């Protein structure tokens, strides 16, 4: 299997090293606004765009620049929607209380994304079946680092009652919901609130990660330093740069694979 390569220019790679993704996205949005403003100003004597059209042009340019800059795949849609949403907010005069509630909900889910560079990735039933097929047949201690709403951990605990299944989540709202789900389902799965970097990986036989490309190098270093011989590190969708996996599953309908490394 060939590992992914970075085809971006040296200048773009340098910008990605110097700025966190959120800051780079903000700079790109500002550049898109400036280019759109100057272009419209030049054409002002022949064309007067309405605000929503201006926002669509700015959003499309910001999305294109984000893709060229090599930002993760969720950034271009965000970049496109942001200026359009800002115009709609002003046009529709939506009550501020609605935005406060939405902000608090999003804060509970994504409040650590700026620091960890790991957004919320839900895993569906096909993912859970793929992971279950790779688990050792003997009783194991398993943890999902970045467990989100807990669907994977709960399903594996249901399938393998002889084993111990845990999840750890740094965002408080998904962690709380996963705890409530476990109680309602009377599941033996355990959910921890915190940063997986504080865990001792040597306590687990299998560690599963569905994180982001930015998190993989540090995860690999921690796994190599702490995981026991024979333990299994699984990563869904995102391989580890320069670390050839011991196996990779067949791609799903979206082209995503499960990668595995035996320590």
Q: What mean pLDDT, rounded, does the chain reach?
A: 81
Report the half-sphere exposure of 27 (CA within 13 A, side-chain side): 12
Using a cut of 0.85, tell me whether the model's pTM lies above it: no
Q: What is the pLDDT of residues 201-252, one digit of tens each?
A: 999 999 999 887 878 899 999 999 999 999 999 999 889 988 999 998 876 7
User: Taken in order 120, 202, 128, 185, is the CA torsion positive or negative?
Assistant: negative
CATH architecture of 125-262: 3-Layer(aba) Sandwich (3.40)
Using the 8-state DSSP alphabet, how is residue 46 labeled?
T
What is each CA distance from 77 to 21, 52, 74, 82, in whole angstroms?
14, 17, 6, 9
Domains of the chain by residue range: 10-94, 125-262
96 pLDDT exceeds 70?
A: no
């Amino acid at each position: 299997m060939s590992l992914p390569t970075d085809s971006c220019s040296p200048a773009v790679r340098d910008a990605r090293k110097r700025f966190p993704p959120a800051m780079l996205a903000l700079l790109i949005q500002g550049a898109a606004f400036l280019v759109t403003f100057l272009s419209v100003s030049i054409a002002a004597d022949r064309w007067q765009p309405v605000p929503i059209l201006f926002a669509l042009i700015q959003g499309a340019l910001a999305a294109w620049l984000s893709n060229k800059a090599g930002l993760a795949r969720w950034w271009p849609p965000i970049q496109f929607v942001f200026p359009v949403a800002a115009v709609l907010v002003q046009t529709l005069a939506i009550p501020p209380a609605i935005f406060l509630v939405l902000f608090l909900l999003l804060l509970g889910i994504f409040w650590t994304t700026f620091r960890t560079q790991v957004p919320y990735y839900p895993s569906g039933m096909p993912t859970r079946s793929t992971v279950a097929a790779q688990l050792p047949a003997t009783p194991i201690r398993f943890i999902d680092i970045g467990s989100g709403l807990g669907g994977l951990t709960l399903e594996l605990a249901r399938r393998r009652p002889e084993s111990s299944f845990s999840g750890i989540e740094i965002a408080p709202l998904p962690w709380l919901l996963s705890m409530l789900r476990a109680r309602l389902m009377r599941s033996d799965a355990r959910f921890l609130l915190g940063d997986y970097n504080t865990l001792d990986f040597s306590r687990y036989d299998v560690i599963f990660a569905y994180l982001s490309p930015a998190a993989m190098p540090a995860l690999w270093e921690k796994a190599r330093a702490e995981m026991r011989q024979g333990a299994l590190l699984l990563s869904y969708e995102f391989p580890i740069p320069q670390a050839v996996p011991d196996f990779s599953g067949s791609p799903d309908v979206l082209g995503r694979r499960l990668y595995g490394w035996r320590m």
